[in-house]
Structure formats: structure tokens, C-alpha cells
Structure 1
Amino acid sequence: MQDLIYLRHYSDNLQQQVRQLLVDDKLAGVLQQRYPEQSHPVQTDKALYELTMALKRQWLKSSDPLSKVVFDPKIHVINNALGTHSQISRVQGGKLKSKNEIRVAALLKQLPLPLLQMVVVHELAHLKEKDHNKAFYKLCLHMEPAYHQLELDLRLYLTLQEHTTTA
């Protein structure tokens, strides 16, 4: 069976369980049971911006402002993860201007809303913590207590998607 690229850093035991679910054709059912609502209303850049700003207002009131939040069809899951956060600084006049942008893979339009929210939380956390360190994950967990489970479930969805396209 193929390498489970999205689960590489998880235990051998978990990977074996996922392989068995794939062989038994049960992974889709497990995910369907966890996320009965497969579709969500966040399908446009405007809706994504509103979702992101609502989470930012709730959890990161004093963080840097966001200038852009968009779905990006060019983000490739393997190379760029599922979202990117960029900060662009430039001198304008005599002042240093800074812009923060969040781009989220368009693929997330087709996955359950909690998984999209988890990626948005991840990218928002980068406004405060640039690196994936202990403080970063603590902030993610503060904003989304089920962060680690949602991240695993997202990886399971990606694994299922890859398995069904290569099978």
C-alpha cells in the first residue's frame, strides 16, 4: 500500500489503523460520522474574510490588521500546506507600512466547516507567533480546543482523497 504522506509524522500504530480503514473501505464512513455536515456556506472570498475576521475579533483583538483573506486555487497541499500567511513590509513616504495576508487552499471549500476553521485559526495564530513552536500551538489550542483532532481529521480527509484518486 502507498505511503501515507499526510500522516508521516504520526505513530506507526495510527498509520496501520488508517491503512486498515482504507483496505476495508471504512475511512469515508468514519469521517462522515464525525462530520455529517459535509458542505458549508463559506464558498467565497468575502465569506472567508468574514469568518476570519470574526475569529480574529474573538481571539486576537490586539493583533496586526489583515489586508487580505482569500481562497487560493494555486496552493498545492503537499508544497504549501493548506494555508499561507504572509507579511509584506515596505517604506511608503517616510513610514514603514505592513500588510498581512492569509491565503487558504480552495480545496477547503469542499471539506467540513470545522476543518476550514482549523486552518484559519492556524493562519491567524501566525499573526502572533511566526514559528511552529510551543507558544504557537498553545495559541491554536486556546482559539480551538479541538485543534489537534481537527488537524488529524483534515489529514485523514486528504489521505482518503489521495487514496480514492490513485486507487
Structure 2
Amino acid sequence: MKPLKYLQGYPPDILRQIQAIADQGKLGRWLTSKYPDRHDIQSDKSLYQYVDGYKQRYVRNASSLSKVYYDNKQNPITGTLGTNTFVSRVQGGKLKANNEIRIATLFREAPEAFLRMIVVHELAHLKEKEHNKAFYQLCCHMEPDYHQLEFDMRLWLNWRDQQA
């Protein structure tokens, strides 16, 4: 069995438990029983609407989004599942700001809960740029199960790699 590369930093006892489940071939069955349904958010337009719905509900006062799209250059191996970029440009006598959220294309085939987790993470960056206590409090405000979803998503990434 391959090492659990997306779970680096977790306690060794948890890693041993997960490794045992994975070695028995039960990780995929457990994940599909917990997250049985895929979502239907397949286009960039539907992704923008999905993200904007969360933005309007939780971070309405944050700067507006100019683009939201699936990006096949986002890669979990390099550590990026989504990015939030903020670019300011001077156009004429005005300062124009663009906010873009890019979500890794692999989330097209992920359970909706994992897509929601990554969207919440990127939206939290509109208010908090650093991964600090306030950032994670905002994530938990938007998605109370944020930390569990992040852990389960990391399990899903490991399972996906095993299947490839």
C-alpha cells in the first residue's frame, strides 16, 4: 500500500488506523457509504453560481468575484486544490480589482461535501489571507463540519491515488 501522502502531520495512531483500513481495501467502501452522491456542478458557470451563493450568504461584504472556474493546473501533489487570487490594476484614473477563485478540476468528480469544503476555504480567504485562527473560525462558521470534511477529503485523495 502506498503511503498516505495527503495526511502528513496527523498523529501516528490515526495514520496507523487509516493505513490498516486502506490495506484491507475498505477505504473506498467507507468513503462511498459516507459520501454516496456526486454533485452536478460540472460547468464553470454552475460553479460560479454555487460559489456566489455561499459568498452572498456568508461573506457578503467581501470584495466581489470576477471569475470562478475549474482549473486543471491545480494539483493536489503540489499542494493546491484551489486558489484565490487578487489582482489590482490601474485603468485610467481608477483602481480596478479582480478576485478569482480557481478550483481543481478533480472536484468535478468529488462528492458535493468536498467541493463545498474547498469553496468555503477559498471564500474564507476573501476575509482572512493567512491560515490563522480567525480563518479557521470563519471556515467553521460557514461549514460546521469543516475539519472533518477536510480530513475525509484527504482520505479521498489518497484513495483516488490508489485507484490510479
TM-score of Structure 1 vs Structure 2, range by shorter chain: over 0.9
SS at match of 1:36: coil
Runs of 4+ in structure 1 deviating by more than 6 angstroms, as ranges, are: none
Q: 2:74: which partner in 1?
A: 75
Q: 2:24: which partner in 1?
A: 24
Shift of 1:58: 0.5
> Where do residues 50-65 of structure 1 align in structure 2 (5 Å cutoff)?
50-65=49-64
The amino acid that maps onto 2:114 is L
The answer for unaligned runs of 5 or more in structure 1 is none
SS at match of 2:101: strand
Q: Aligned partners of 1:33 and 1:80: how far apart in 2?
A: 27
Shift of 1:2: 3.2
Q: 1:105: which partner in 2?
A: 104
Q: 1:118: which partner in 2?
A: 117
Q: Aligned partners of 1:140 and 1:128: how far apart in 2?
A: 11
Q: Aligned partners of 2:130 and 2:6: how far apart in 1?
A: 20
Q: Aligned partners of 2:158 and 2:49: how far apart in 1?
A: 29
Q: Aligned partners of 1:33 and 1:164: how far apart in 2?
A: 17
Question: Is 2:94 aligned against 1:95?
Answer: yes
SS at match of 1:89: strand
Question: Is 2:32 aligned against 1:47?
Answer: no
Q: Aligned partners of 1:31 and 1:110: how far apart in 2?
A: 14
Q: Per-residue CA shift, 1:6-56, capped at 9, x if unaligned?
A: 00011111111111011110001111111121x211000011000000000
Q: Aligned partners of 2:77 and 2:9: how far apart in 1?
A: 14
May I ask how many residue pairs the two structures share in their alignment?
164
Question: Is 2:4 aligned against 1:4?
Answer: yes
Shift of 1:131: 0.4
Q: 2:161: which partner in 1?
A: 162
% identical equivalent positions: 48
SS at match of 1:127: helix
More displaced stretch, 89-98 vs 148-157: 89-98
The amino acid that maps onto 1:14 is I
Q: What value does the CA root-mean-square deviation take over the aligned residues?
A: 0.9
Q: 1:84: which partner in 2?
A: 83
SS at match of 2:160: helix
Q: Aligned partners of 1:78 and 1:32: how far apart in 2?
A: 23
